[in-house]
Structure 1
Amino acid sequence: MIALLASSGFRMARALLVFVLGGCNLMNQIPKGGPPPVPPELVQVVHFPTTDTLTLEGWFLPGSQLIANPGTRQPAVLFCHGVQDSADSNMADFIKQAGYTVFSFDYRGFGNSSKADLTATTLAEDSWAAFEYLRSRPDVDPDKIAVYGHSLGGAMALSVGSRAFKENIPVACVVSASAFSTYRRAMNDFVPIAGFMLGGTDEPDPEDWAAGLGNIPLLITHGERDDILPVYHARRIAASAKEAGVPTEVVIDSRGDHIVAYVYGTYLPQAILQFLGRHIGSP
């Protein structure tokens, strides 16, 4: 009975975290981004399966090199969106506008992907399915895929990188933007008692995934004025990664918040673009 209660509390607290991070709008996801920065006829809407036979939808936006050189394999960026976003999130607009090939997708329950229960495990599985799909494309260099995610997506980017390293699959680099270090700490930021509902579990947290990146280069970005996920999360993720010997860079915007710093700011986007340039080349 104790184990059952602990398990139920764990699921409830995680669901509450998803609810809070999603602006209490989980059931009605509305695309936030504007038109893709490439001609509409070049945007490929694709569908790919999950391990449990659901179907996810993604947007493949070819970058400048792929447009100029069709039929070649080019570097690409896999983007994992946050809870209140969807495949056309504007959190990756600066990467698209720089000329990189970008693949964004919707987790189950978002956009036009299959409707199904959303859990921390399924989020990670859906992110991995997107990564595998991107690797399978004949126009993508599988050795030059960067994984970038924001907020909850920043945690998912870490999960993809960690699993790839464990399975000896190449990932060029990982960018975790304004993510949370553990579910318990993130819940305590909102409702202190909710963190106690999680208790001790064997479930992996973002800081665990960060420690499992091995030799994959990691960039952690955050805003000092983030009032949704305080900046200490970035420092804890970084500490976990560095302690494990992961090559880690941390960039903190002293005036940045959770969202605007990436959409209208320049400091964090420029840091991310420079990092991508070093690891997958210029677009």
Structure 2
Amino acid sequence: MPVTRHLIKRGDGAAVELFQARATDTAPTGAILFVHGNQGGLLLGAKELVDNGALLRFSSRLNITTAAVSQPGFGGSDGPADFCGPKTQQSIIAAIRFLREQPSVDPDRIVLYGNSRGAVAAAMVAAQVRDLRAIILSSGVYDLKEVFETSPRGIRQAIEHEAGLSTEAFRARSALHHAHDIRSEILLLHGRYDDRAPVAQAEAFSAALSDAGVSVDIRVFECGHRIPREESQSALRPFLQKVLVSGITRH
């Protein structure tokens, strides 16, 4: 089950890097699209999911297609970075479109999985692509302005440099204000002691989604920003089994 690298095009012609591992089944299967986090300045992009084995691990265990997309300015994707903003969101949407065109993928069973910075952007995409099978958001911020002042200095500088500090810039990166546009089932994963993305962010977003009639499940773990894999798996396994393997229809 080899991993292949693709350079696809965003609507404005910018290159978007994507890595893909295909299922062994000949019939179309579900798919997961991963969106990486900040990566501590390494700028590996989607290759991080290849290097750490996540792409092949999820693909082989669930016998599905998996893919990972590099945000603008990361990996082989054209920049500049815009801190989870419209260009990042458009890159993710381009990756979803690419997956839907693959013969190995059932277009009605695509799950979007964003982590940290990737969760900020993936949550915003959920408000625009309303027919995804499900969304998984791990350690995300859903009201960026609310946490800006208490964020670490490096994150504040990145937000100011990449996005600016206007009301419009914050709103374009804050899915809490767009919960009423989301229709896909959502699983929220968060650490109780997260010092970058306070757990109150996930709790408030969960409440807003529930009020909007969205099927949402929130799982809070006794950890910080990085959720240990062995802990997150306890929530991921049954959720992915339900939405990708069992054939349960969309809510």
CA distance in 2, matches of 1:73, 1:86: 27
1:86/1:199 CA distance change after superposition, 3 Å: closer
In structure 2, relative to structure 1, the CA distance for the partners of 1:96 and 1:262 (3 Å cut) is farther
Shift, 1:199, TM fit: 6.0
d(CA) in 1 for partners of 2:38 and 2:152?
18
In structure 1, C-alpha distance between the alignment counterparts of 2:128 and 2:142, rounded to whole Å: 17
Match of 2:180 in 1: 211
DSSP-derived class of the 2:96 partner? helix
Q: Which residue in the other structure is 1:98 paired with?
A: 61
Q: Secondary structure at the match of 1:236?
A: helix
Matched, 1:276 2:244: no
- Name the residue aligned to 2:77: 113
- CA distance in 2: counterparts of 1:276 and 1:206, whole angstroms: 23
> How far has the Cα of 1:81 moved from its partner?
1.0
**Aligned Cα root-mean-square deviation (Å):** 2.6
Q: Is the 8 A contact 1:135 1:142 kept in 2?
A: yes
Instruction: Summarize deviations over 1:118-172 as a string: whole Å, max 9, x none.
Output: 221111111111111111111110000011110111122222222112xxxx311
C-alpha distance in structure 2 between counterparts of 1:244 and 1:228, whole Å: 26
8 Å Cα contact 1:158/1:209 also seen in 2: no
CA distance in 2, matches of 1:97, 1:225: 32
Q: Which of 179, 197, 217 is the aligned partner of 1:229?
A: 197
1:86 matched to 2:45? The reply is yes
Aligned counterpart for 2:94 among listed residues 126, 129, 146: 129
Match of 2:225 among 251, 258, 275: 258
Kindly indicate whether the alpha-carbon contact (under 8 Å) linking 2:114 and 2:136 is maintained by their aligned counterparts in 1. Answer: yes
CA deviation string 1:227-256 (max 9, x = no partner): 221211111111211121111111001x22
TM-score (norm 1): 0.72
Q: Which residue of 2 aligns with 1:50?
A: 10
Contiguous gaps of at least 5 residues in structure 1:
1-38
State the one-letter code of the partner of 2:35. C
Return the letter of the residue paired with 1:180. Answer: V
CA contact (8 A) 1:224 1:252 kept: yes
Write the distance in 2 (CA, Å) between the matches of 1:134 and 1:111.
19
Q: Which moved more, 1:123-132 or 1:155-164?
A: 155-164
Query: TM-score, normalised to structure 2's length?
Result: 0.81
Distance 1:161 1:92, change over 3 A: farther
Structure 2: gaps spanning 5 or more residues:
none
Check whether the contact 1:148–1:175 (CA below 8 A) recurs between aligned residues: yes
1: CA distance, partners of 2:176 / 2:60: 30
Answer yes or no: is the 8 Å Cα contact 2:65–2:104 preserved in 1.
Answer: no
Query: How far off its partner does 1:282 sit?
Result: 5.9
State the match for 1:189 in structure 2.
150
Offset of residue 96 of structure 1: 4.3
Which structure has the greater CA radius of gyration? Answer: 1
Equivalent residues, number: 227
Residue in structure 1 matching 2:109, options 137, 144, 148:
144
Query: Does structure 1 conserve the Cα–Cα contact (< 8 Å) formed by 2:5 and 2:20?
Result: yes
Aligned CA distance change for structure 1 residues 88 and 224 (closer, same or farther; 3 Å)? same
Task: Tell me how far 1:88 sits from its aligned partner.
Answer: 2.8
Q: Distance in 2 between matches of 1:178 and 1:92?
A: 20
AA matched with 2:11: T
